[in-house]
Chains A and B, each alone.
Chain A
Amino acid sequence: MKRITIGFIPLTDAAPLIAAHERGFAEEEGLAFDLVREVSWANIRDKLSIGLFDAAHMLTPLAIASALGIGHVTVPLIAPATLALNGNAITLSAAFVRELGDLPDDPVAALPLFAAAIRRRVEAGLNPPVFASTFPYSTHNYILRAYLAAGGIDPDRDVQLVVIPPPLMAGSLEKGLIDGFCVGSPWNSVAVDRGAGHILTPSSALFARIPEKTLVIGDILAGGDPDTLRAIVAATAKGAAWCADPANALELAAILSAPHYLGVSAPLVLRTIEGRLVFAPGGPSRSVPDFIRYDVPGTVRPDAGRYAWLYAQMVRWGQTRFDPGIPARIAALIRTDIYDAAMPGPLPPADADPIGSILEPAFDPADLAGYLARFDDRGLPKLRA
């Protein structure tokens, strides 16, 4: 039995790795997953970098930035399996929601109200609203920015964007330190249950297929025995497939709720797995299609186009300069050959648009320059001539 030390952050999207361990899929592959709970993404990155972790659950944008050396020294790693698509939401404080007025369910219809409330704050000479994400290289940062920008709000000038660790989000809303946040599961639902926040929109209503977290493997294992790499990916994919089966939702919620994993009540975790979200404190639950996805191969086999979109966000928001050589480096990062060897079978049908956003025209990964040309130097959509 080969021991694989894997760092994770307590989030619903760590489920495939946890299921691989708890349900015996790792063992079937001759592996023992040693899951180590971490408190920060920076720790995950650094412990992977120095080899204290063999592998980790990582924010997909952080995996891309680390591998490409964006904003930090290069951390050699590969990302051969996506752990989940979507799973995020934008949540506003109870006080800020009152400033918006009656909120429609449709996030596009809600956007003008959201933008107007932000402008009223600024015009009244008050401090700009503060919104939190979990990390500079996170889908949360990009989702929040894209939504603000689609409403004509400059995320770097009209509001203040900060980073807050997910477990502190609900408390920060309650104390009035922030007006809203974009974070993964289960933390939006935690804020709603505490009466601190209202979910404005699940991210899946804005973007259909954003690779949220990825399994990353550090360069010691990545450069080593291919059988071990295949076994890790197979165990993870089998764990994900188990998580994707609605028949297992109850058991998965019970496993994840344990104090050494998420430490959040099982019924609340179940809501996030099943995509039955309660939007307002005390309100009814609503079913959100594809709120979080673990399916195989559609989610788990890494999709270069989705990764390219995340890279494009880094360029759009000034985190790095555009490099036309990136698509080749993304292919070397996701190493689909490992997935295909581990999980032979038909490839998932290709999506015409890898991301599927209602805020943007279809994304063409073959034309990154064309995509980026749609935005001005502040990342805002250019007005059509």
Chain B
Amino acid sequence: MPDPIPNDLSLTIAIVDESRSRAAIIEEGLRDAGYSRIVHIGEMTNLLARLYATDPDVVVIDLENPSRDVLEQLFQVSRLVKRPVAMFVDQSDTGMINKAIEAGVSAYVVDGLKKERVKAILDMCVARFHAFARLQNELDQAKSALEERKVVERAKGLLMKHKGISEEEAYALLRKRAMNEKKKLGEIAQAVVTGLEMLG
């Protein structure tokens, strides 16, 4: 029998992740690397049955998922478990597992599968988890910038109505107050909105 090739593209990989967008980013990475048998499981009820139905060689799960403990059953030898599974940890390779845990991902592999055959998969997932975290961060920042703009607009409108001033004057007033109180423009605008909305 020939030696198994290091990156076995025929492996079936299950991605267990309730975040559709993150799962999509990981799946895309794995497909780009040539893996074609990829199943995304986003629904956590009956997770074990869903996993057995796909009979994966590798299971990738995010660490925010409470259902990670469900996967721990896979280690148990029982009639429920078709193929016993090991976690992708090895005392000789702490660097790899540290990187994965810090990135927020864990992987389970079918017992006996050579580590070298799945290392590329885990490397890819770690990189994609980091990429997703960066995107999420940028998205959150964009969202909060948008929220701030909305509340500033609303505060300007209320000031114009209540004080009979122009838009420029309302904006200058907010800026001045924010500078004096060493607060963010959004925070001052929010206080104005809360206060003036109560007045009607």
Q: Is the CB of A177 within 8 A of B87?
A: no
* B97 CB contacts on chain A under 8 angstroms: 46, 50
Binds A, one of B32-40, B88-96, B119-127: B88-96
Known: A47-B101, A319-B76. A168 touches B66 (CB 8 A): yes
Q: How far apart are A129's CB and chain B's nearest CB, in angstroms? A: 15
* B101 CB contacts on chain A under 8 angstroms: 46-47, 50, 52
Q: Mark contacts of B105-121 with chain A using CB atoms, 8 A cut-off: 1 yes-contact digit, 0 otherwise.
A: 01000000000000000
How many B residues, CB 8 Å from partner? 31
Closest chain A residue to B87, Cβ basis? A72
Point out the residue from B45, B46, B90 that lies within 8 Å of A73, measured CB to CB.
B90
Q: Total contacts A to B, CB within 8 angstroms?
A: 73
* A135 CB contacts on chain B under 8 angstroms: 69, 72
Point out the residue from B69, B75, B90, B102 that lies within 8 Å of A52, measured CB to CB.
B102
Sorting the interface of chain A by its residue count into under 10, 10 to 19, 20 to 34 or 35 or more gives 20 to 34
Q: Is the CB of B98 within 8 A of A50?
A: yes
Question: Is A134 an interface residue, CB under 8 A from the partner?
Answer: yes
Binds B, one of A36-44, A117-125, A229-237, A278-286: A36-44
Closest chain B residue to A138, Cβ basis? B69
* B78 CB contacts on chain A under 8 angstroms: 156
Q: Is the CB of B77 within 8 A of A40?
A: no
* A287 CB contacts on chain B under 8 angstroms: none
Pick from A42, A49, A50 the residue with the most CB of B within 10 Å. Answer: A42
Question: Is B48 an interface residue, CB under 8 A from the partner?
Answer: yes
Q: Is the CB of A156 within 8 A of B106?
A: no
Question: Is B54 an interface residue, CB under 8 A from the partner?
Answer: no
A sample of 9 more A-B contacts (CB under 8 A), given A73-B90, A73-B91, A168-B44, is A39-B63, A39-B68, A40-B65, A40-B68, A42-B106, A134-B69, A162-B48, A165-B66, A168-B67
Name B residues whose Cβ lies closer than 8 Å to a Cβ of A. 44-46, 48, 63-73, 75-80, 87, 89-91, 94, 97-98, 101-102, 106
Name A residues whose Cβ lies closer than 8 Å to a Cβ of B. 39-43, 46-47, 49-50, 52, 71-74, 134-136, 156, 160, 162-165, 167-168, 172, 175, 177, 318-319
Cβ contacts A to B, 9 pairs, < 8 Å: A40-B66, A73-B89, A135-B69, A162-B48, A162-B73, A163-B69, A163-B73, A168-B44, A168-B66
